[in-house]
């Protein structure tokens, strides 16, 4: 069985919990150590039982709590060599022997959990997504990417559950007077983020490959709302005859509090 819960998801911080009951891993730690510890306790997990942190890329909303958690609980931190080099000094000192490096594209184990890493198109030095698995059950985290290339489709094909980015509503983004033109173009680019429409189109493609459970994640706090994201996604799916709750199951990853806890049984 795999337990999965997005603890926080959004531009204000990202952190997800994955466990098979024996090994417990965080994917990113983009909130304060205290916030992440409290979130873990809300789902019945003791932070002292964590086994590792996986880092997707060096942006602050993914690494803010990495250093403090590693030091406090003597946790190994896994990231590519380029990501390690790009992490700002704010991460602080990592305990001796706790820096773990891999090449994006490699597969490895952390305890009893299998980890598949794959490159994603985003404006970071060496960004990656992860698919974690135990037996036949697997969960994929697919956020912070400008589009979904065939290589990513192959990497996550048949996942039991997917945390998929639904970052922005294009009309809200374009009319946002507080965002500079350059920032808007960055978000809209192929190394930026997925819109609600992009997310829905991705769900349709991933459904064909066997995934039925999706969590909409990494919503912008300025250019999206949970209601807009869910309405757009379900609307696009409905046009293709796909019903939420029947053919597919959608839920939301929240920016500022713990989301639903999922339990995936091994086949």
In a domain, 252, yes or no: yes
Tell me the CATH number at 156: 3.60.15.10
Residue 83 predicted with pLDDT over 90: yes
In a domain, 200, yes or no: yes
Task: Tell me which residue of 142, 137, 103 sits closest to 120, measured CA to CA.
Answer: 142
Tokens standing for residue 7: 């603890």
In a domain, 190, yes or no: yes
pLDDT-derived band at 259 (thresholds 50, 70, 90) equals very high
In a domain, 263, yes or no: no
pTM of the entire structure?
A: 0.96
pLDDT-derived band at 97 (thresholds 50, 70, 90) equals very high
Secondary structure string (H, E, C) spanning 215-266: EEECCCCCCCCHHHHHHHHHHHHHHCCCCECCCEEEEECCCCCCCCCEEECC
C-alpha R_g of the chain: 17
- Range(s) of the domain holding residue 138: 2-257
More confident residue, 90 or 191: 191
**pLDDT tens sequence across 216-243:** 999 999 999 999 999 999 999 999 999 9
Question: How many domains, the chain?
Answer: 1
- Per-residue pLDDT, averaged over 105-129, amounts to 97
In a domain, 109, yes or no: yes
pLDDT value for 90 = 78
Beta strands in the chain (DSSP E): 2-8, 15-19, 24-27, 52-54, 77-80, 99-102, 107-110, 113-119, 128-134, 137-142, 161-165, 213-217, 249-252, 262-264
Give dist(CA 102, CA 107) in Å, integer.
9
In a domain, 92, yes or no: yes
In a domain, 201, yes or no: yes
In a domain, 132, yes or no: yes
Mean pLDDT of the chain: 96
């Amino acid at each position: 069985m795999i337990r999965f819960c997005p603890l926080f998801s959004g531009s204000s911080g990202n952190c997800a919990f994955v466990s098979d009951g024996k090994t417990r891993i965080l994917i990113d730690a983009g909130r304060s150590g205290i916030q992440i510890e409290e979130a873990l306790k809300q789902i019945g997990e003791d932070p002292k039982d964590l086994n590792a942190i996986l880092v997707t890329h060096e942006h602050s909303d993914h690494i803010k709590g990495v250093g403090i958690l590693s030091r406090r609980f003597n946790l190994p931190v896994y990231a590519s060599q380029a990501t390690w080099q790009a992490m700002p000094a704010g991460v602080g000192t990592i305990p001796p022997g706790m820096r773990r490096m891999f090449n994006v594209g490699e597969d490895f184990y952390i305890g009893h959990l299998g980890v598949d890493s794959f490159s994603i198109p985003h404006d970071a030095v060496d960004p990656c997504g992860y698919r974690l698995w135990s037996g036949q059950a697997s969960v994929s985290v697919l956020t912070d990417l400008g589009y979904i290339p065939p290589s990513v489709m192959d990497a996550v094909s048949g996942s039991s559950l997917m945390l998929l980015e639904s970052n922005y509503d294009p009309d809200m983004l374009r009319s946002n007077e507080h965002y500079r033109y350059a920032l808007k173009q960055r978000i809209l680019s192929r190394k930026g983020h997925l819109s609600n429409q992009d997310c829905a189109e991705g769900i349709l493609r991933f459904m064909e490959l066997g995934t039925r459970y999706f969590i909409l994640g990494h919503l912008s706090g300025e250019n999206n709302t949970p209601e807009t994201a869910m309405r757009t996604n379900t609307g696009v799916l409905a046009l293709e005859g796909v019903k939420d709750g029947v053919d597919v199951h959608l839920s939301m990853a929240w920016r500022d509090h713990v989301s639903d806890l999922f339990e995936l049984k091994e086949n």
